[in-house]
Structure 1
């Protein structure tokens, strides 16, 4: 709930996504403050934006005698945000639950409400920063500096925080956050007919931050990276594309999942279904997998600050991947080619999940149970081919050939159509039942469907 909420707020106050980065986890909030240093990582597979990891270190930590510096922090109220939404569905459905007869009429509803969020912006200007530190030198012996790969320092100079405590409430009848027909549900220990979730944002919780780049000069002083400053944010002006030139990388990294034995596939699939219902675990798991692929042991202490359900998901996945808690954080890992391939595949899958709303993740879990992942994958492949901008094969007009798009949509039952429709809506596509066709919603901001393709590809490989 935390990441989806901060992303939603940032999309409202920075709709172009050109400056602000949403805070991914409440665990990162204390590290997303003015003057805190972040580490720039390689861009995520499904994102065109930069990727930063907050750290507990501040700019003053790496300066010689920097603790007494006054940076002149300015503060101002910038916005107030609130949201309320509700959805209900009803149908004649055969429910696979002992206490409900097959064919009974059932209904489900969900609602989300966010109390008014008053936000304050804390800012340090680039010019003020440089004026204050111009006579200070960087401590080359500081652990953070010694581990830097180049002379570029990434520092947070602007933060959006909550001014007062606020809360987000989510309630649903059926499965957590689900907006689908209850016919798709089965009785399991981790499912409930009714569930409510509440997330509280204490006053001073970081919602988003802005990063500036500084360069360490040959004399160990700090200078503004003017090239980046004048160039502006790295925002592509071309429309998003999920064309054939993009598809092979995630598909290639996920192919290793198809070679697993059946028992291992089942173990991974069960854990992934838990993760889909505990989306707040994604940010921590994503960061840990990045560390593992960098060849170092992740820090398990962060799990102590997580809610029980989210912590259990992370622990189960790392256990399946053979990552033991006993190793010290930062210790070098020796991964076999096979284990590294599996970890890389799971990392790609987790990154694809991180690009989606929690409601869509719940719908994917239901798609697994309804055994319609393969149909959805075929539909998404058709969408990718049709709207990728790649040249289309022109067939002989005299050749009679069934339209695979129409065939697939016609084969979907009402319940399968409902859930698939809701999955595609996040990516700005709709299914038309009457014409058995796919519609592209042109007047809404486009989302790259490559993330959905990767998620469906992986889930299909594990089924």
Structure 2
């Protein structure tokens, strides 16, 4: 509920740089210059996942002199929003001896009242000066664990949006369904027997969440480009990506930071992302035209439904980590059918002699 409210807030007021806080537990971790792990997801359409840590940038530096950021606080805005969603559907089947009719309706309303908000922003110019002679402790356990995973990069909290007073998030949900069944059959001596059954289900819920003052609801990070020797650079431009330097010649350098040199041709962010995904496109290219067309059509249908995308992401994450896909929590029948159809196509590719689409390569 809290994550839905913060996501709605970010979608209404930001163009893409702000990250919604997904859990109240993470709020206390998101102090200025705290470290956040940005995890790139496996599938093309998935947004990165952001994991706040218990460490700040100073905690993973060598030496005894911590960074002392200057934080500028300003009034941001006053926010109150109400979002509603209505879903309904019906299914009717007429067979030889059975008539079945199913109807369902789901109505929800989410009201968020964050009140007056403040923006806290780190002085980046001072951070650049203070970082000039600093080195990261590459033996720190957090550095080593993150470096081992090629999809993860570090970022530091540059900006955050904070509540100034107690506020609330209220969610009202109404769910209802009806099942009507008519069974007809012939008994002895051509006697016709009919059995009719009606059943209905109705469920209401009203949940109120009280949020304390000084709660972080959204934040912004600067990614870090980390060298093998522990030097780091701040990725100030939106199309400059962070990460760990690999063994061998440096393939790219930071743009916009004093002392950095760029001797390689510039590539757009889009081009770099396409190069990283070339292996996935190669797997798609070996599929038959019919399978490829069916898969892309199913993905297109899924992406039109936010809940279906979340379900598919969860199921695929389970499969990519070696777990059995669990569709038991899927409520909507059409979502389950679409996701199951995608899984069937992927499993078909898994049984072919070509590399599986489910392998994490």
Is residue 196 of structure 1 aligned with residue 206 of structure 2? yes
Other structure's SS at 1:183 match: strand
Is residue 365 of structure 1 aligned with residue 337 of structure 2? no
Question: Given that residues 87 and 106 in structure 2 are in contact (C-alpha distance below 8 angstroms), is that contact kept between their aligned partners in structure 1?
Answer: yes
Other structure's SS at 2:333 match: helix
Is residue 183 of structure 1 aligned with residue 178 of structure 2? yes
Q: Who is 1:415 aligned against?
A: none
CA distance in 2, matches of 1:4, 1:113: 10
Report which of the two structures shows the higher radius of gyration computed on alpha carbons: 2
Q: Who is 1:149 aligned against?
A: 147
CA distance in 2, matches of 1:44, 1:11: 23
Aligned pair partner of 1:223 in 208, 220, 233: 233
CA distance in 2, matches of 1:232, 1:158: 28
Question: Given that residues 38 and 153 in structure 2 are in contact (C-alpha distance below 8 angstroms), is that contact kept between their aligned partners in structure 1?
Answer: no
CA distance in 1, matches of 2:178, 2:73: 52
Other structure's SS at 1:164 match: coil
Q: Who is 2:20 aligned against?
A: 22
Identify if the C-alpha distance between structure 1 residues 174 and 289 changes in structure 2 by more than 3 Å, giving closer, same or farther.
closer
Aligned pair partner of 1:79 in 68, 77, 94: 77
Alignment of 1:315-330 (within 5 A): none
- Deviation, 1:200, is 2.6
TM-score by length of 2: 0.56
Q: Who is 2:7 aligned against?
A: 7
Q: Render the CA deviation track for 1:218-269: whole Å, top value 9, x for unaligned.
A: 6644333467166999579xxxxxxxx79969x9xxxxxxxxxxxxxxxxxx
- Deviation, 1:132, is 1.9
Other structure's SS at 1:167 match: strand
The count of residues paired between Structure 1 and Structure 2 equals 267
Aligned pair partner of 1:208 in 193, 218, 227: 218
Other structure's SS at 1:84 match: strand
- Deviation, 1:59, is 0.3
Is residue 173 of structure 1 aligned with residue 166 of structure 2? no
CA distance in 2, matches of 1:27, 1:146: 25
Identify if the C-alpha distance between structure 1 residues 232 and 160 changes in structure 2 by more than 3 Å, giving closer, same or farther.
farther
* Higher helix proportion (structure 1 or 2): 1
CA distance in 1, matches of 2:153, 2:108: 47
Other structure's SS at 1:33 match: coil
Alignment of 1:254-403 (within 5 A): 293=321, 340=322, 342-343=323-324, 345=325, 365-367=331-333, 374=337, 377=338
* Higher strand proportion (structure 1 or 2): 2
Question: Given that residues 152 and 216 in structure 1 are in contact (C-alpha distance below 8 angstroms), is that contact kept between their aligned partners in structure 2?
Answer: no
Q: Render the CA deviation track for 1:19-77: whole Å, top value 9, x for unaligned.
A: 12222222322223321112232235253544332211110101134564321111222
Question: Given that residues 119 and 160 in structure 1 are in contact (C-alpha distance below 8 angstroms), is that contact kept between their aligned partners in structure 2?
Answer: yes
- Deviation, 1:88, is 7.3
- Deviation, 1:129, is 0.9
TM-score by length of 1: 0.45
- Deviation, 1:82, is 1.1
Q: Render the CA deviation track for 1:184-216: whole Å, top value 9, x for unaligned.
A: 69989xx86221122232222222222212334
Question: Given that residues 71 and 129 in structure 1 are in contact (C-alpha distance below 8 angstroms), is that contact kept between their aligned partners in structure 2?
Answer: yes
5+ long unaligned stretches in structure 1? 95-102, 176-181, 237-244, 252-275, 294-339, 351-360, 378-453
Question: Given that residues 37 and 55 in structure 1 are in contact (C-alpha distance below 8 angstroms), is that contact kept between their aligned partners in structure 2?
Answer: yes
5+ long unaligned stretches in structure 2? 93-100, 181-197, 241-254, 257-265, 272-280, 288-306, 347-361
Identify if the C-alpha distance between structure 1 residues 120 and 126 changes in structure 2 by more than 3 Å, giving closer, same or farther.
same
Question: Given that residues 184 and 366 in structure 1 are in contact (C-alpha distance below 8 angstroms), is that contact kept between their aligned partners in structure 2?
Answer: no
Q: Who is 2:351 aligned against?
A: none
